[in-house]
Structure 1
Amino acid sequence: MAARAALRRRYWATVPARLRLLRAATVLLAAALAVLLLAAGLATNSTWDAVSQRDAPRTTSAAGLELALDDMDAQAANILLSSGDAGEGRLWTPYRKAVGFYADARREIGHDLRALAVAAQGDRADEKTVESLNDDFAAYQELIGRALENDGRRGGKQAALADYRTATDLLDSGLLPASRELVSSNNAAFDTEYASARSTLATQLTVVLVLGLLLLVVLGALQWYLTWRFRRIVNPGVLAATVCVLTAVILGGQVLSASAEHLRVARHDAFDSVVALSRARAIAYDANADESRYLLDPGRRDRYEASFLAKSQRLYGIEGATLSTYDAELATTWDAYRTDHRDLRFTGEFRRELDNITFDGERAAAERTVEAYAVYQRDDRKIRALLAEGREREAAEFCMGWEPGTSNAHFGAWMAALDEVTGINRAHYVSSVAAGRSDLTGQLPWTCGLLLLAAGLTGLGLRPRLAEFR
């Protein structure tokens, strides 16, 4: 009892004790709030580092690998299709273009594999996937190299075709599934990072508001006590400290809520579309390769035709459509969508993008992409019709030509439209990351400074009152 009485006399029974206790509570709460905001800022900045330097680049590198693999195989098919018999009857423009694109894709694959190997360090599942990719790609290159070597000999087309078949089978059974697995796993890791960061920010915002409210209550109690005890209307120092705390709580809350919003825009509004469109681009290159494979390999035409349709359905899915009905049903469903943007009778990667329209100019760019895709689809039917009429060389020239009005020219226009809508989303992803960082570096130091100033002003405001009791 004696000890309790002594503590009461020391910390509450006298006026100076009460003032010192309220001052200490103010300083401790202000310091705790400043430390919390500083820790939240550092954690959020770390999240932005993880998002911009690890999660997003890993996902886009994996998507780029899938695209480059599809492109390399497509160009190998184009080389074999356009090379003639040891150069005799060669389609020179398609051949030269295919050789150049083949080399570009090969270099891109090497770059992406190195980047993914570095990114996978520490994740055993991804490490094993990258190791498998490297082994399979070495085997794939050997098969393609052998196919091209055989194709360079007169009468070597059949041997080249046999090697190319084996290489394409390896691509379909090993390389492409593994690259898609990396896209999915890295994208899932990004989503996990995002969900955790948003949850943490929500918790931190709640704690900031609670601590801020408690600090304002303590300052209000201090101001009331000074008014009651010393018969003063206000204490200027405590009033200024209250204004500083209120401003700091508002700014701190804005920083945390803005960070959560920038994360949402970067992840879902922008990057979800980047992933969908990157997948669409890889599927497009693989479908384009199926056309060349269809012309190159008569023994597998049914297989490559079915594969082309399956990839078309992954891009713009129409239930029950066949190649003979696809164009008409695409036109019907697209007209319905253009009439009413809520009337989406199709599925696939284009649907994913159209369900996630967010930014200025994005819808128009996405619609141009689908319209360019429809032109490319009609070209495919022309290729098959020419082949059915026995006009194989004309079919190959139209398929691989780059002159205006040919299939490759229209494919290039489709890819340019796809790049435009991807670029819009990528730009907003980058700007959201930059804005998130800017809010932290621009406002958070001021917020912490205001809290420290509030603690100092409280001490200055109480100094004359405490001096009266010396």
Structure 2
Amino acid sequence: MTAPVAAPAASSTRAISRPTAPASGSAPLAATRPDTAPVRRRSSVPTRLRAATTVVVALVAGLLAALVVGVAAARDNLHTIGGRTAPQAATAADLYYALADMDAQVANVLLIGHDEQIGNKQSALRQLRQDRAAVTAALQTLLDRGLDTAGEDTARTLLADLATYDALTAQARYADDQVLERPVARPPANATSFYLSATALMHQDLLPAADRLGRTAEAGLAGSADDGRSTARVAALAVVAFGAAAVLALLVVQVRITGRFRRVFSPFLVAATVLVAVLTGLGSSLLLDHGDRVRDAKAEAFDPFAALARTRAVASDANADESRYLMLPDRAGYYRAQFAEKAAQLVPMSTEPGLAQRLAAFRRDDEALVAAVNSGRRDTAVGMATNVGRGNLAFEFYDYQSVLDSTAQTHHDDFTDRIDAGRDALAGWRWAPPLVLGVGVLLVLAGVRPRLREYR
């Protein structure tokens, strides 16, 4: 019996499997992927470095824009204050004083009459002409420099009222000149009537209109100063924001280059960082200083000038009340009360060195004038009020006014010097930011370029 034949081994009848080529368009084998990862990482490093450099340059450009705009705004603000709003306010103050003094000089002319031995009528006439010319010049200057609609209406109304005032005072003087023989301090009734109408027009219309122009001009100056300070602070904040961001971005670039390339800090990037940081500090300080400078110039220099300019007008009107007191005995009580009120106003306005004692001397001589009138020595009182000789009331008033003028001018000069100093502080900043930051950008590129070159 034959043995059964063994079945063939399974392995002999099965096809031996072989790797087949991937079909067209199929994904590459996973075995090839590890070879591409380093390439991708290498290509992403310069891309990130270029992006970081672009961010740095953009922030530096923002810093430059903030500095340029801020400095330009500060320069324009100084031009507005020094060239328009402050001169407008000063001119309005001069107008107010010239009007008040003009009315005082008309009173002096009528008070003296025709007796040159008692008072200096020619001096009063000369001062009257100067005041009238100053009024015309001040009004013309205000109109030429530009007023708003309300200001222009006020100025034109003032001009019309001024023509009426001129006519009334001319009639008063003409009526007085027709009576050659008349007592001192006793102008004819028609001359007195014309003058009373003129001085009423001055105090009820002309001086209030000039006061409105002055206060509007001072408000314009205050607005310019506030706007300049606010704009400077916003610009300084923008400078700090862009500058700090640029410095931070530069530091990040430095740290990444150091860690990635195993390098020490790049001297070019260090220099660029220092330049940006220094310019940020100096620029923000400059803009903040501008805001403080403008505020202090107005508060510490122009405001005292404006107050003293108003004091001059009050003092001149108080002195005119003395002449009216002598010239109009039926209104003596009214004008004494007016003088007392204005003299009381002068006390807190006369705290500057040298003013208080001169005001005291002026008021002391006023008491002597009243005593002379009460004792029947009216001619002597008129001479005291109108003859500028040492020991007379007129001299003490002139001395007081002279110190007022010089002190006011000192404050005005201080204001002008502060504005000029502000312009000088900004002078170099027209070209410094573009130059310094341009160098900074070149330094950044010089610091980054060697690292990018390693990937070529």
- The two structures share one fold, judged by TM-score above 0.5: yes
> Is the 2:119–2:382 Cα contact (8 Å) retained in structure 1?
no
- TM-fit CA distance, 1:93: 5.0
> Is the 1:226–1:232 Cα contact (8 Å) retained in structure 2?
yes
The answer for the alignment partner of 1:239 in structure 2 is: 270
User: TM (normalized to structure 2)?
Assistant: 0.87
Query: For 1:211 and 1:29, how far apart are their aligned partners in 2?
Result: 6
* Residues 19 and 380 of structure 1, relative CA distance in 2, 3 Å threshold: same
- Which of 202, 224, 234 pairs up with 1:203? 234
- Percent of aligned pairs sharing the same letter: 32
- Which of 386, 390, 394 pairs up with 2:376? 390
> Is the 1:205–1:256 Cα contact (8 Å) retained in structure 2?
yes
Matched, 1:17 2:43: no
Partner amino acid, structure 1, of 2:346: L
Residue by residue over 1:203-228, the C-alpha shift from the partner in whole angstroms, topping out at 9 and shown as x without a partner, is 21112111111110000001111111
- Which of 405, 415, 422 pairs up with 2:401? 415
- TM-fit CA distance, 1:13: 7.2
- Which of 342, 350, 368 pairs up with 2:354? 368
Partner amino acid, structure 1, of 2:431: P
SS of corresponding position for 1:367: coil
> Is the 2:74–2:228 Cα contact (8 Å) retained in structure 1?
yes
Query: For 2:166 and 2:158, how far apart are their aligned partners in 1?
Result: 12
Partner amino acid, structure 2, of 1:349: M
- Which of 356, 361, 365 pairs up with 1:379? 365
Query: For 1:404 and 1:228, how far apart are their aligned partners in 2?
Result: 88
Matched, 1:136 2:161: yes
- TM-fit CA distance, 1:28: 1.0
> Is the 1:94–1:400 Cα contact (8 Å) retained in structure 2?
yes
Residue by residue over 1:117-173, the C-alpha shift from the partner in whole angstroms, topping out at 9 and shown as x without a partner, is 22343x111111111110110100010011111111026722111100000000010
The answer for the alignment partner of 1:113 in structure 2 is: 139
Residue by residue over 1:384-434, the C-alpha shift from the partner in whole angstroms, topping out at 9 and shown as x without a partner, is 111111111000001111111111111121122222322332222111101
SS of corresponding position for 2:390: coil
* Residues 246 and 12 of structure 1, relative CA distance in 2, 3 Å threshold: farther
* Residues 191 and 10 of structure 1, relative CA distance in 2, 3 Å threshold: farther
The answer for the alignment partner of 2:26 in structure 1 is: none
Matched, 1:259 2:259: no
Trace 1:194-343 onto structure 2 (pairs within 5 A): 194-316=225-347
Structure 1 gap ranges (5+): 1-8, 317-347, 355-365
The answer for the alignment partner of 2:108 in structure 1 is: 78
Query: For 1:134 and 1:201, how far apart are their aligned partners in 2?
Result: 40
Q: Which runs of 4+ in 1 moved over 3 A?
A: 9-13, 89-93
- Which of 380, 388, 413 pairs up with 1:427? 413
Q: Which moved more, 1:270-279 or 1:444-453?
A: 444-453
User: TM (normalized to structure 1)?
Assistant: 0.84
> Is the 2:229–2:291 Cα contact (8 Å) retained in structure 1?
yes
- TM-fit CA distance, 1:448: 3.6
Trace 1:140-155 onto structure 2 (pairs within 5 A): 140-154=165-179
Residue by residue over 1:267-313, the C-alpha shift from the partner in whole angstroms, topping out at 9 and shown as x without a partner, is 11111111111111111111111111111111221221111112112
Partner amino acid, structure 2, of 1:132: T
- TM-fit CA distance, 1:444: 5.2
Partner amino acid, structure 1, of 2:149: R
Query: For 2:259 and 2:141, how far apart are their aligned partners in 1?
Result: 69
> Is the 1:144–1:164 Cα contact (8 Å) retained in structure 2?
yes
Query: For 1:24 and 1:195, how far apart are their aligned partners in 2?
Result: 38
Partner amino acid, structure 1, of 2:203: D
The answer for the alignment partner of 2:151 in structure 1 is: 126
Trace 1:25-64 onto structure 2 (pairs within 5 A): 25-64=55-94
The answer for the alignment partner of 2:454 in structure 1 is: 468
Query: For 2:167 and 2:143, how far apart are their aligned partners in 1?
Result: 21
The answer for the alignment partner of 2:9 in structure 1 is: none
SS of corresponding position for 2:353: helix
Residue by residue over 1:183-219, the C-alpha shift from the partner in whole angstroms, topping out at 9 and shown as x without a partner, is 1111111111111211121121112111111110000
Residue by residue over 1:83-104, the C-alpha shift from the partner in whole angstroms, topping out at 9 and shown as x without a partner, is 2xxx3x3446511110110110
Query: For 1:420 and 1:434, how far apart are their aligned partners in 2?
Result: 21
Q: Which moved more, 1:287-296 or 1:11-20?
A: 11-20
Query: For 1:10 and 1:426, how far apart are their aligned partners in 2?
Result: 71
Q: Which moved more, 1:9-18 or 1:431-440?
A: 9-18
Between the two proteins, the alignment pairs up a number of residues equal to 412
Query: For 1:205 and 1:199, how far apart are their aligned partners in 2?
Result: 10
- Which of 135, 146, 171 pairs up with 2:202? 171
> Is the 2:302–2:415 Cα contact (8 Å) retained in structure 1?
yes
SS of corresponding position for 1:390: coil
Query: For 1:277 and 1:225, how far apart are their aligned partners in 2?
Result: 64
* Residues 11 and 149 of structure 1, relative CA distance in 2, 3 Å threshold: farther
Structure 2 gap ranges (5+): 1-38
Query: For 1:404 and 1:429, how far apart are their aligned partners in 2?
Result: 34
The answer for the alignment partner of 2:24 in structure 1 is: none
> Is the 1:241–1:457 Cα contact (8 Å) retained in structure 2?
yes
> Is the 1:10–1:17 Cα contact (8 Å) retained in structure 2?
no
> Is the 2:168–2:195 Cα contact (8 Å) retained in structure 1?
yes
Q: Which moved more, 1:68-77 or 1:188-197?
A: 188-197
> Is the 1:376–1:411 Cα contact (8 Å) retained in structure 2?
yes
